[in-house]
Structure 1
Amino acid sequence: MKRRTVIGGLAMIAMAAASTATMAADTVKVGVVIPLTGGFQSNGRQISAALKTFLATHGETAGGKKVEFIVKDDASAADNALRLSQELVTKDRVSILTGFGNTPAALSVAQLSKRAKIPQVIMVAATSSIMDASPYMLRVSWTVPQMANVIGQWAAKNGTKKFVSIVSDYGPGVDAEAWFDKALTASGGTVAEKLRVPLASPDFSPFLQKAADQKPDALFVFVPTGAGTSFMKQYVERGLDKSGIKVIAMADVTDDDLLNSMGDPALGAITGGPYSTSHDSPENKSFVDAFKKENNGMRPNMVAVAAYDALQLIYKTLDKTQGDATGDTFLAAAKGMTIDSPRGPIFIDPATRDIVQNIYMRKVERVNGELYNTEFETVEKVHDPAH
């Protein structure tokens, strides 16, 4: 009975969306569902700041129509993300949904996106498999395998071969663990032990002790953006930095937004990821300057640049369709789209609707009195290896 009610509700939403699409409105409404509170609120903070920056630099018109953004806080909960998305489609009559600061939020809305034929533009959620859940989903962030695969190959190639992995125990963490292990092992390395830390209120100390007992060359680490400060602090408190055990991690660990607050414990950490605040390009200089101007000196991180690029994708696609945000028309126009992003060139693979981009190996260094993830090696045009 409950399943029939859900399906019936989705059918009504689909009908409402279809009738909205046929209206010759002068405004395209975009629903932005993000975690402004709760465990993933640092993502919401960066997305909100990116939206403010984008509107200041690009205005409110695309494809000859006014673009109106309606922002909702899902409080980092997937059931909230679905409820709010349903309200945005049925009550606010949005044509496009975007945001989704974590995997559960994105997945919760996938059936709504699929049945109502609403483009769902993913700003953060990075678990590879979510793209299979709706043909109307586009991802402009990154995938966990994109990063973990490159990091595993790089580590083995550069002589760091015995690892212990420490990851947060949820979808992206499991993805990171698996793809790093696969790449490292294929290149002649080994993961001596795989440790998973509870996502809620993590205490890394016992896991770091277990890792130290294995005497690895390095730790491979994945924690969500925002949790890296606690990890690096406990890594130093446990004396692992003095033991010669290196940190080679996913970019989330040395989040650009929080890096200065981490202080000396972060120095020397090596990470792989799609963006650094210090990325050297004219596009990034303009982006960082505008972002700081609009947000009281705040630094953008990879979540901010992904959100900014999602908005670029929405505007460029609307320009191409002359303001038509109908699901099939929008998706057809967005597939194959290229963008000169602040992170470097990005491309939406028409076969997978997923992002193709450079992945950079970076090292935390002090530059002009501040800490930065300094890029030292580039792997170009990386597809998601899981597809």
Structure 2
Amino acid sequence: MTGIGRRGLLGGTTALLAAPAILHAQPAGGVKIGVVAVQTGPQAALGNQLKDGFALGLRHLEGKLGGLTAETVIIDDELKPDVAVTKVRAALERDKVDFIVGVVFSNILQAIIRPVTESNTFLISTNAGPSTFAGRGCNPFFFTTSYNNDQVHSVMGQAAQDNGYRRVFVMVPNYQAGRDAVAGFKSKFQGEVVDEVYVPLTQLDFSAELAKIAAARPDAIFTFMPGGLGVNLVRQYRQAGLANIPFLSTFTVDEATLPAQGDAALGFYSAASWAPNMDNPQNNRFVTDYIAAHNAVPATYAAQAYDAAMLLDSAIRKVGGTLANKDALRTAIRAADFRSVRGPFAFGANHYPVQDFWLLKVGRRADGKLETQTDRKVFTNAVDPWAAECRMR
């Protein structure tokens, strides 16, 4: 999910599986992972999901990746690109991490991708998927287990089109993923965008924008408001009496925000390549064990991070635990020889997934918890729109 349009640590690192006293030493026969997950401010709910999903993957793998004992270094990017760069450089140079995994927001990914990849270290994004690195900017040391930002939002554009909506109000944050959201939505929606509003990433009061929506009387709204932005928007949308206007969203009503949104989110739509109610053995185990550990339903942030752990396990196993041969390791990662919680999984030529996408609707589980549930499949084996521009082969 989640810099400005395609066009166009020291103190913060902590060890998750090992005592801080041995952070400086590479464990014999081990592998060290730097996990970038925002832990500061209202967006920490998303970072916690990411961190906990990766940790559950390691737990299911008995603390090993490809047979190597795994150690993680948690990096709080604080949602500040300069801070993220400083902490990631320390993880690379001081802590000698073998991989960097994680990243919720695209502006953070844009800040750290050069220092990571220029050190010949693989960066596995488990959420941020900016179009910037999907086309001509594709990178042999960059993979993502999530999506291209445009894709998820295009699901909503197609859904709006299929539902016969002619006039849609669009509102997103003013950064990379927000602009990608608009581009993705417009790529499929053929009707009129009655207004296109960009708000600061720190905005929590939407009263002025809600007044605009009420005045415009659109057939539906499309919005992308992650984390705390989504919590406030959903509550205020209901309070403003606008629920009769269909609420189409991406990364606004999800398992990271639903506990705070409560019943205000019921019936609102979202889109993703995964949902907690997908019925396959890997997903059933993942969701059951995540809820048991955290008393909360996992979101895509957790699911995609869990898949990243399984991906690394498969790749390291393929190279027999030898991490020095980067070409062989890249080939092993590209093979994606693991069972994903979302079902079939494969990488395209640009190292972004080729996968199905679903329209989701917020509903209530049998245990009373809220979750996003599959409504219908919108795209099958979708290749992101910039893959053809990638010259990496």
TM bucket (normalised to shorter chain) is 0.7 to 0.9
Report the equivalent of 2:175.
170
Report the equivalent of 1:182.
187
Range moving further from structure 2, 310-319 or 371-380: 371-380
TM-score, normalised via structure 1 length:
0.87
Report the equivalent of 1:238.
240
- SS of alignment partner, residue 168 of structure 2: strand
Relative to its length, the structure with more helix (as a share) is: 1
Report the equivalent of 1:51.
54
Unaligned runs of 5+ residues in structure 2 are 1-25, 388-393
Report the equivalent of 1:384.
384
CA drift at 1:306: 0.8
For 1:38 and 1:367, how far apart are their aligned partners in 2? Answer: 29
- Within 5 Å, give how 1:237-316 maps onto structure 2: 237-241=239-243, 244-250=244-250, 252-295=251-294, 297-316=295-314
Q: Deviations over 1:348-377 (max 9, x none)?
A: 22x101112221111222343433322121
- SS of alignment partner, residue 217 of structure 2: coil
Report the equivalent of 2:161.
156
1:212 to 210, 214, 223: 214
Instruction: Indicate how the Cα distance of structure 1 residues 265 and 38 shifts in structure 2: closer, same or farther if over 3 A, else same.
Output: closer
> Any conservation in 2 of the 1:111–1:133 contact (CA below 8 Å)?
no
1:41 to 18, 33, 44: 44
1:82 to 85, 96, 100: 85
Unaligned runs of 5+ residues in structure 1 are 1-22
For 2:339 and 2:108, how far apart are their aligned partners in 1? Answer: 28
Instruction: Indicate how the Cα distance of structure 1 residues 45 and 313 shifts in structure 2: closer, same or farther if over 3 A, else same.
Output: same
Q: Which amino acid aligns with 2:363?
A: E
Report the equivalent of 1:16.
none
Instruction: Indicate how the Cα distance of structure 1 residues 263 and 293 shifts in structure 2: closer, same or farther if over 3 A, else same.
Output: closer
> Any conservation in 2 of the 1:34–1:73 contact (CA below 8 Å)?
yes
Report the equivalent of 2:16.
none
> Any conservation in 2 of the 1:336–1:348 contact (CA below 8 Å)?
yes
> Any conservation in 2 of the 1:52–1:294 contact (CA below 8 Å)?
no
CA drift at 1:347: 1.4
Range moving further from structure 2, 175-184 or 253-262: 253-262
> Any conservation in 2 of the 1:33–1:71 contact (CA below 8 Å)?
yes
For 2:339 and 2:298, how far apart are their aligned partners in 1? Answer: 17
TM-score, normalised via structure 2 length:
0.85
> Any conservation in 2 of the 1:96–1:325 contact (CA below 8 Å)?
no
For 1:197 and 1:305, how far apart are their aligned partners in 2? Answer: 28
Q: Alpha carbon RMSD of aligned pairs, Å?
A: 2.0
2:194 to 172, 192, 195: 192
Number of residue pairs matched by the alignment: 357
- SS of alignment partner, residue 42 of structure 1: helix
Instruction: Indicate how the Cα distance of structure 1 residues 366 and 59 shifts in structure 2: closer, same or farther if over 3 A, else same.
Output: closer
Q: Which amino acid aligns with 2:168?
A: F
For 2:328 and 2:281, how far apart are their aligned partners in 1? Answer: 32
Q: Which amino acid aligns with 1:381?
A: N
For 1:338 and 1:146, how far apart are their aligned partners in 2? Answer: 23
Instruction: Indicate how the Cα distance of structure 1 residues 352 and 98 shifts in structure 2: closer, same or farther if over 3 A, else same.
Output: same
> Any conservation in 1 of the 2:58–2:65 contact (CA below 8 Å)?
no
> Any conservation in 2 of the 1:256–1:276 contact (CA below 8 Å)?
no
For 1:364 and 1:156, how far apart are their aligned partners in 2? Answer: 20
For 2:67 and 2:252, how far apart are their aligned partners in 1? Answer: 41
Q: Deviations over 1:141-163 (max 9, x none)?
A: 22221111122112212212210
CA drift at 1:219: 0.1
CA drift at 1:24: 11
